[in-house]
């Protein structure tokens, strides 16, 4: 029987890592990202900081949490941690039953914010994460949209500076390969895409992609082993 809710695999004219990725990444590693911050996200971050003033629990971030379902799962799995789900879409968060932000339920908190602003402010405020989940970010498969992919975005060094064990998942092999290459260049790690096996954390997009028979890739590595490498460029491509 045809699955009416099947999702199509990512299609792109790109069949491998983008030929400009290396150059773009070098520029981002050399230069500080100084674009203006997103004002509503600054206000959201300040409210969150006040809420967390007395919190000592290790922090876990679920970046681009969508409906926030994965945040709830992670919070259940890591009861000693404070798990923060961040998404820019109020609609998606509302679909998950979260209608005001920040909203706290047990050891989970949901916040509506734009990630490039949130990540930069968190670095400035001295956050160091225990874990960081980046589940199924928008793939931006058009080659001309390279810099919208997180690993080619000027905020990538800040994302890595937040530290922690990072798990990025994607249903597009090229995205996973590029993400691993960029992380390895910046941190000196040896990450590579691996198939997503049975996992206790399964987001709505992961469920949808699995039901549609997509191959799923995870790139997992520690951001704590070294600092973000802003010098000594190494050719990757």
Ligand X SMILES: C[S@@+](CC[C@H](N)C(=O)[O-])C[C@H]1O[C@@H](n2cnc3c(N)ncnc32)[C@H](O)[C@@H]1O
Q: Which residues bind ligand X (CB under 6 A)?
A: 64-66, 70, 87-89, 92, 114-115, 135-138, 203-206
CA distance 102 to 34: 26
Closest CA to 137 of 154, 162, 115, 106: 115
Which residue, 40 or 213, has its beta carbon nearer to ligand X? 40
Minimum Å gap between C-beta 85 and ligand X is 9
Minimum gap (Å) between residue 17 Cβ and ligand X:
21
Nearer to ligand X, 22 or 59 (CB): 59
Q: Which residue has the tokens 């876990």?
A: 60
Residue closer to ligand X (CB basis): 89 or 225? 89
In the complex, minimum distance from the CB of residue 231 to ligand X, in angstroms, rounded to a whole number: 28
Buried b (16+ CB within 10 A) or exposed e, 15-52: eebbeebbebbbebbeeeeeeeebeebbebbeebeeeb
Cα separation, 91 vs 16, in Å, equals: 34
Q: Which of residues 22 and 127 has its CB atom nearest to ligand X in the complex?
A: 127
Pair of tokens at residue 198: 């049975």
75: its two tokens: 């919070």
Q: 119 vs 221, which CB is nearer to ligand X?
A: 119
Q: How far is the CB of 179 from ligand X (least distance, A)?
A: 14
Supply the minimum distance, in Å, between the C-beta of residue 171 and ligand X.
Answer: 9
């Amino acid at each position: 029987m045809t699955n009416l809710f099947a999702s199509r695999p990512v299609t792109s004219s790109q069949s491998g890592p983008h030929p400009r990725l290396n150059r773009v990444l070098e520029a981002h590693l050399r230069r500080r990202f100084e674009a203006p911050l997103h004002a509503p996200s600054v206000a959201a971050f300040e409210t969150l900081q006040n809420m967390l003033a007395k919190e000592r629990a290790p922090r876990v971030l679920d970046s681009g949490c969508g409906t926030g379902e994965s945040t709830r799962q992670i919070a259940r799995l890591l009861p000693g941690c404070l798990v923060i789900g961040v998404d820019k879409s109020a609609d998606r968060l509302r679909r998950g039953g979260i209608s005001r932000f920040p909203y706290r339920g047990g050891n989970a908190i949901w916040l509506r914010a734009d990630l490039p602003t949130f990540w930069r402010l968190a670095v400035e405020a001295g956050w160091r994460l225990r874990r960081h989940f980046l589940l199924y970010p928008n793939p931006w498969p058009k080659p001309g949209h390279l810099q919208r992919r997180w690993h080619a975005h000027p905020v990538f060094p800040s994302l890595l500076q937040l530290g922690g064990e990072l798990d990025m998942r994607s249903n597009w092999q090229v995205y996973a390969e590029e993400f691993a290459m960029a992380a390895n260049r910046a941190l000196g790690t040896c990450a590579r895409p691996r198939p997503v096996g049975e996992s206790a954390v399964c987001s709505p997009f992961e469920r949808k992609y699995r039901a549609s028979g997509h191959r799923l890739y995870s790139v997992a590595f520690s951001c704590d082993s070294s600092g973000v490498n802003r010098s000594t460029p190494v050719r990757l491509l």
